[in-house]
Amino acid sequence: MEHARVSPAPTGAGPFSYPGAAPEAHDLPLHRDHRHLLGLEGLDREEILALLDAAEAYRARLRAGGMPFEDLRGLTVLLGFFEDSTRTRVSFELAARHLGATVTTLTTAGSAISKGESLFDTVQNIRAMGVDLVVVRHVASGAPYFLAANLDVGVVNAGDGRHEHPTQGLLDMMTLRDAWQGRFEGRRLALVGDIAHSRVARSAIHGLRALGASVTVVGPHTLLPAEIERLGCTLAATVEEAMDGADAVMALRLQRERMDAGLLPSLGEFSRVWGITPERVRLLNRDAVVLHPGPMNRGVEVTPEVADSERSVILQQVENGVALRCAVLARCAAARAARGGRARREVA
């Protein structure tokens, strides 16, 4: 089927427009090329705040309801989830559909990848069908960079191995900006749990440092990466030390396979020593909040009393995720259109 002709987005169309000549793609490192969002490492304060501002605008539009958006009308978004996901995949799908895009989903199960085809060849074939943006989750760290370097499509990292999960980091910062009345400077987040295997932790550290906040990490020694302080965070000896005086705490999901690998004695022991309990929450600053990137093992990383308390902003994180991903997809589409890619179809 032939794709309809589309005209470039006009100056001022949507929150991410590029008046005048846009930089050539080959003049930019991949992490600074706005056709992609591959990670938060290396992004500056202004770039992150621009995304958070746009996400707040989309959140207001989503809450108001009304007519469907036209931001991505005429574009096709491929959700390539080669690792299990529910929340992130559904959030991206809702975001793309809210923006008017055509959405198609590719998973490992039942795909050509499960029959031996490489990731590159699979996405090349999908690209030949007219895909404009690819949202990819993959078990291999660096998979989104590989695709961005080799395919003429916009690429959004939805989580790659132990590397990064940039949209999760951004939605966490959006949630914290609400809780912190817009001020990041001088604030501190405590990250608790499996730091070694957490791409969420890495994105949080990179993003919050860029905005002027600090991060303290704590967890079992078997789940802490070597030289974690090189990322610019502080290591605490106990969860009580990490949470004392913090402005927020984020519990990271504990994957049960860590126990099977002998990295933990039991879930009960983890909960007793590292769990976020009402007693430990009292160590936080008075207006501090509790986050969790999900899915949450209720009663393991966070007690039910804390998860359901007024301090918890876990459901706000989920709501913010859709708006934030709207902002990311819109930015990638606008940058791609500015460099000669397909833009949204204009409405007569």
- Asked if the structure places residue 66 within a domain, the reply is yes
User: Hey, is 35 helix, strand or coil?
Assistant: coil
pLDDT of residue 120: 78
Does residue 281 share a domain with residue 175?
yes
Q: Residue 263 has what pLDDT?
A: 74
Same domain, yes or no, for 206 and 283? yes
Tokens of 317: 């994180």
Query: Is the same domain home to 312 and 225?
Result: yes
Residue 72 banded pLDDT, cuts 50, 70, 90: very high
Question: Is the pLDDT confidence value at 341 over 70?
Answer: no
Please tell me whether residues 42 and 82 are part of one structural domain: yes
Same domain, 190 and 104: no
Position 110 scores a pLDDT of: 57
Question: How large is the angle between the packed helices 199-210 and 45-64, nearest 10 degrees?
Answer: 110
Evaluate if residue 297 carries a pLDDT over 50.
Answer: yes
pLDDT, residue 17, reads 39
- 308 and 333 within one domain: no
CA–CA separation, 314 and 292 (whole Å): 6
Q: List all residues 6 or more positions away from 222 whose beta carbon is below 8 Å from its beta carbon.
A: 196, 258, 263, 264
**C-alpha–C-alpha distance, residues 238 and 241, integer Å:** 5
> Residue 18 above 70 pLDDT?
no
Q: Is residue 195 part of a domain?
A: yes
Distances, alpha carbon 223 to alpha carbons 152, 161, 255, 300, 336, in Å: 38, 16, 11, 16, 39
Query: Among candidates 65, 88, 76, 66, which has minimal Cα distance to 1?
Result: 76
Q: Say whether both 202 and 308 belong to one domain.
A: yes
Asked if residue 307 and residue 288 are part of one domain, the reply reads: yes
Average pLDDT over residues 113-132: 77
CATH code, domain with 178: 3.40.50.1370
Q: Is 7 inside any structural domain?
A: no
345 assigned to some structural domain:
no
What mean pLDDT comes out for the span 139-152? 90
Lowest mean pLDDT among 153-167, 245-259, 291-305: 245-259
Q: Is 134 helix (H, G, I), strand (E, B) or coil?
A: strand
Over residues 11-23, mean pLDDT: 37
> Which SS3 state, helix, strand or coil, does residue 218 take?
strand
Kindly report, residue by residue over 146-168, the tens digit of the pLDDT.
999 888 899 999 999 999 999 99
For residue 114, the model assigns a pLDDT of 55
Query: 322 is written with which tokens?
Result: 């859709």
In a domain? residue 69: yes
Percent of the chain whose predicted confidence (pLDDT) is above 70 = 85
Q: Are residues 206 and 113 in the same domain?
A: no
Tell whether the model's pLDDT for residue 260 goes beyond 90: no
- SS3 label, residue 87: helix
**Residue range of the domain that includes 189:** 166-317
The one-character DSSP state at 112 is: G
* Residue 4 reports pLDDT greater than 70: no
pLDDT, residue 143, reads 92
Within a domain: 14:
no
**Are 216 and 138 members of one domain?**
no
Provide the domain count of the chain. Answer: 2
pLDDT averaged over every residue in the chain:
86
Average pLDDT over residues 211-226: 94
Percent of the chain with pLDDT over 90: 68
Alpha-carbon span 261 to 181, nearest angstrom: 42
Do 29 and 137 belong together in one domain?
yes
- Cα separation of 291 and 306, whole Å? 10
- The band of 49, judged by pLDDT with boundaries at 50, 70 and 90, is very high
Quick one: pLDDT at residue 121? 83
Q: 3-state class of 239 per DSSP?
A: helix
Element spanning 289, H or E:
strand 289-291
CA–CA separation, 57 and 99 (whole Å): 13
- 197 and 65 in a single domain? The answer is no
User: For residues 237-266, b (16+ Cβ closer than 10 Å) or e, as one string?
Assistant: eebebbbbebbbbbbbbbbeebeeeebbee
